[in-house]
Structure 1
Amino acid sequence: MTAVRRGLSSGLVQAFLVLIGLIWLTPLGGLFLSSMRSAEDTAKGGWWTALLAPGQLSFDNYGSLLKNSGMTQAFWNTVLISVPTTALVVVLAALAGYAFAWLDFPGRDAVFLVVVALLVVPVQIGLLPVAKLFGQLGLFGSIPGVVLFHVAYGLPFAVFLLRNYFAEIPQEMLEAARMDGGTEWRIFRQLVLPVARPALASLAVFQFLWVWNDMLVALLFADSSAQPLTVALQSQTRQFGSNIDVLAPGAFLSLIVPLVVFFAFQRHFVQGVMAGSVK
């Protein structure tokens, strides 16, 4: 282990990792430069030509994007879909995970087995039946309909993840809290949730990224007034040659928000992913 640590800390390895990082960031940098170029400059050459002619870069495209009511509405639709979905999945999965891990009720193992079995159900199977159901309920084409679909299909994995994490909490700690007069709700809220913060943060990041970048569900369940940014950008690609000045900044905006969310929760995310890997 010591030899491995010394090898990873060597200058050559660190230089190699920096090189890999730069290569990975190259498409992001190219998209950012493209988003700051006019359609005429883009037609003349690739984004790398802007490195030799920085005068062609400006934020005019972003100003035009903010004045595009369709794109701004799509951005806020994406927020209204992603944030409630992530919050509902985390809250409901935390409650269910604690119940499956530490509460004794009839049929607990059978119900949890059904939850685990739902993990193997492809999302494509439920598209048409759920679309028909939402049509009967008046939810088809609306933001609440898209949110409910994502919540339903995100809960099995979320419950499975949090249940396994909660089960690793020492039983003696929970028994001591019960002996001190703590109710199950108080134990869950003041003891279990703080301990499970890394797992909750990891789940929130995964769920947010999944919903923010989704296009399949939104393409089917959202109408023109509820379409998120992914669907709006997809519709813009039909005219790629004439509206690159709208498509590029919109794509960069769609990309930068998940990156900000990831880096904001990076510390908790890494703790959650590494939980249980070291005894």
Structure 2
Amino acid sequence: MTSQVQTLESLRAHRASTWTLSRRRMALRIFGLAVMIIYSVFTIFPFYMLFVRSFVATADAGELHLWLPKARPVDMNTEVGNLSVFYNLDLKEMKQALGIPKGKVLRARETLAEVAKKYNIPEERIRSYFEGFYLFNGWQTLLFGQAGGSNFWAALIRTILVAFVSLGILIVLSIFTGYGLAGLRRRDQMYVYNLYLLQMVIPAMLIILPQYQMFQWFFKLFPGYDVQNSFMRQALQLLAVILINIKGTALSTMIFVSAISGIPRDLEESAMLDGASRWQYLWRILFPLLKVPIVSLTVIQLPLFYNQFLEPYVYLDPANTTLLPFIANTAGQFSTNFQVIYSGVFASILPLLVVYLIFRRFFVEGVMAGAIKG
């Protein structure tokens, strides 16, 4: 009888401990899920606020908005000049849409009510034209207006072109540099490697002036560079930004020297004995083994190239600029349409997001390949 009681008590204790362990696991899962949700909210919230701000009128820019604002009613006492200055109103398009003769000039102090009375335009027609004007002014001006329109799409294309061309050439040159310096067996290799690392302590602002003068002297050797908005001038300016991006950097050199140094030299010697040339070894053997450093460099450098501001702002003309300088140029000297700026910043994020969503599988596979050996 005593043994049966002891057995029952041990079973109850085992069940209690099992139940306690399962509850602990459940509590840890709930806690982990809560942490992930909170972290996700804090990560996404700035992008959400940026999206909301792109619909907030400039007149309400000083107020806090946690959700999309309601469309502001059209005030017929609003002056045409204020709409043109603070909201980038296209007066030519407005005159054409409202049937105002081309030769007529709209004075800055004229209100919408005075315009309606002067040209016999029904107020309902003016209200219909300006319906949603304050709510969608940022996107309308950025994508289709005179302040943005084709300039925005051209700046986006130039940004993507500079970023991906710079990244592709940088990866190729970094592989060659890493292959040449791998192992650091000779003293001259060590000197060259230290010169690459020296760039880490030299600020870009320190060399930007002599660098700019050097490029200007070189590009003036090409005919047509001094002609404003010429193809030669625009191409050479973009080339200058790409050359600055692909010059040997300390980060890319460190990544590929370290990666290639970890590959046994017996692999290269075996390939040479089998009749492979040096180019065949680089392309067919070495390059596939460098998936992890290539992905690592891409994850680091692509956002830096895409969000570059200083070099495009210095080397590119306003008509030949990339996204961030283009957005900065929308700020006026005496007034700023904040809707356009917020819309431009949010729109500039979308291409990188699309690239990540399309190629995230390759990024994950590349990173996981470095964690699995054997």
Q: How does the TM-score come out when normalised to structure 2? A: 0.62
Choose from 176, 201, 219 the match for 1:138. Answer: 219
Distance 1:137 1:259, change over 3 A: same
Choose from 168, 173, 184 the match for 1:92. Answer: 173
Matched residue pairs, number?
270
Contact kept, 8 Å, 1:34 with 1:248, in 2: the verdict is yes
**Residue of structure 1 equivalent to 2:320:** 226
Shift of the alpha carbon at 1:89? Answer: 0.7
SS of the residue aligned with 1:83? helix
Distance 1:114 1:49, change over 3 A: closer
Shift of the alpha carbon at 1:186? Answer: 0.7
Shift of the alpha carbon at 1:93? Answer: 0.7
**Residue of structure 2 equivalent to 1:33:** 52
Q: Kindly report the root-mean-square deviation, in angstroms, between the aligned alpha carbons of the 2 structures.
A: 3.4
Shift of the alpha carbon at 1:32? Answer: 1.8
Is 1:10 the equivalent of 2:29? yes
* Runs of 5+ unmatched residues, structure 1: 1-5
Bigger Rg, which one: 2
Is 1:251 the equivalent of 2:345? yes
Shift of the alpha carbon at 1:150? Answer: 1.8
Contact kept, 8 Å, 1:74 with 1:232, in 2: the verdict is yes
One-letter code of the match for 2:35? F
* Runs of 5+ unmatched residues, structure 2: 1-24, 72-131, 221-232
Shift of the alpha carbon at 1:25? Answer: 0.8
CA distance in 1 between partners of 2:45 and 2:69 (Å)? 13
Choose from 281, 290, 298 the match for 1:196. Answer: 290
**Residue of structure 2 equivalent to 1:149:** 244
Contact kept, 8 Å, 2:292 with 2:370, in 1: the verdict is no
Q: Which has the higher contact order (CA 8 A, sep 6+)?
A: 1
Choose from 47, 69, 94 the match for 2:65. Answer: 47
CA distance in 2 between partners of 1:263 and 1:202 (Å)? 17
One-letter code of the match for 1:144? L
Contact kept, 8 Å, 1:198 with 1:268, in 2: the verdict is no
Contact kept, 8 Å, 2:259 with 2:290, in 1: the verdict is yes
SS of the residue aligned with 1:47? coil
Choose from 136, 142, 160 the match for 1:79. Answer: 160
Is 1:160 the equivalent of 2:237? no
Q: How does the TM-score come out when normalised to structure 1? A: 0.81
CA distance in 1 between partners of 2:371 and 2:167 (Å)? 26
% identical aligned pairs: 25
Question: Higher helix proportion, which one?
Answer: 1
Shift of the alpha carbon at 1:20? Answer: 1.2
CA distance in 2 between partners of 1:165 and 1:196 (Å)? 7
CA distance in 1 between partners of 2:284 and 2:317 (Å)? 42
Q: 1:100-119 CA deviation, whole Å, 9 max, x = no partner?
A: 22798883332222222233
Shift of the alpha carbon at 1:268? Answer: 4.4
Distance 1:112 1:52, change over 3 A: same
CA distance in 2 between partners of 1:206 and 1:8 (Å)? 36
Distance 1:170 1:235, change over 3 A: same
SS of the residue aligned with 1:10? helix
Q: 1:2-25 CA deviation, whole Å, 9 max, x = no partner?
A: xxxx79972212211221111111
**Residue of structure 2 equivalent to 1:66:** 143
Shift of the alpha carbon at 1:188? Answer: 1.0
Q: 1:139-159 CA deviation, whole Å, 9 max, x = no partner?
A: 79811111111222x533212
Distance 1:107 1:251, change over 3 A: same
One-letter code of the match for 1:77? R
One-letter code of the match for 2:283? R
Shift of the alpha carbon at 1:221? Answer: 1.8
Distance 1:176 1:20, change over 3 A: same
Contact kept, 8 Å, 2:241 with 2:312, in 1: the verdict is yes
Shift of the alpha carbon at 1:182? Answer: 1.6
CA distance in 2 between partners of 1:195 and 1:14 (Å)? 36
Distance 1:268 1:105, change over 3 A: farther
